[in-house]
Amino acid sequence: MTTPAAHGHPTPPAQPQATAPAPVAAPVPTQPCAHTPHTPHATPAPQGPADPHPPQATTGPGGALIGLRSALVLVLGILVGTGAGVLTYLAQHNTATSVLAGGAAFAGSVLFFHNIIAG
């Protein structure tokens, strides 16, 4: 190497040296089982209690948007609301009153069927 004074340039920094790889840990010896003296066995992992409610199956992109119970509650609510609206219109011949009566009947029937139908 040349000195910095000879060429007017500073000396380049030293190159990093390669380090030896870290030593690998030795495998942990296992204890042989009592019934077979030369065959080691792994200890099974402890498992928690079984879940009383298994996870629900998820549907793919073409699956259902809502569950069967929700669909039934909403269909029954629509039927009750439509019936109440039609009967109100036949009695009063006022569209606004029949729509309000049908909407109120729909809301009440959805709450009713939601509580009645077991889920």
Instruction: Compute the 3-state secondary structure of the chain and give helix, strand, coil in percent, each to the nearest 5.
Output: 45, 0, 55
User: How far apart are the C-alpha atoms of 55 and 66, rounded to whole Å?
Assistant: 16
Provide the sign of the torsion angle of the four alpha carbons 79, 82, 86, 89, taken in this order: positive
Q: What percentage of the chain carries pLDDT values higher than 90?
A: 45
What was the pLDDT predicted at 61?
75
Q: Quick check: helix, strand or coil at residue 13?
A: coil
The pLDDT tens digits of the residues spanning 88-112 come to 999 999 999 999 999 999 999 999 9
> Is 40 a residue whose pLDDT tops 80?
no
> Is 115 a residue whose pLDDT tops 90?
yes
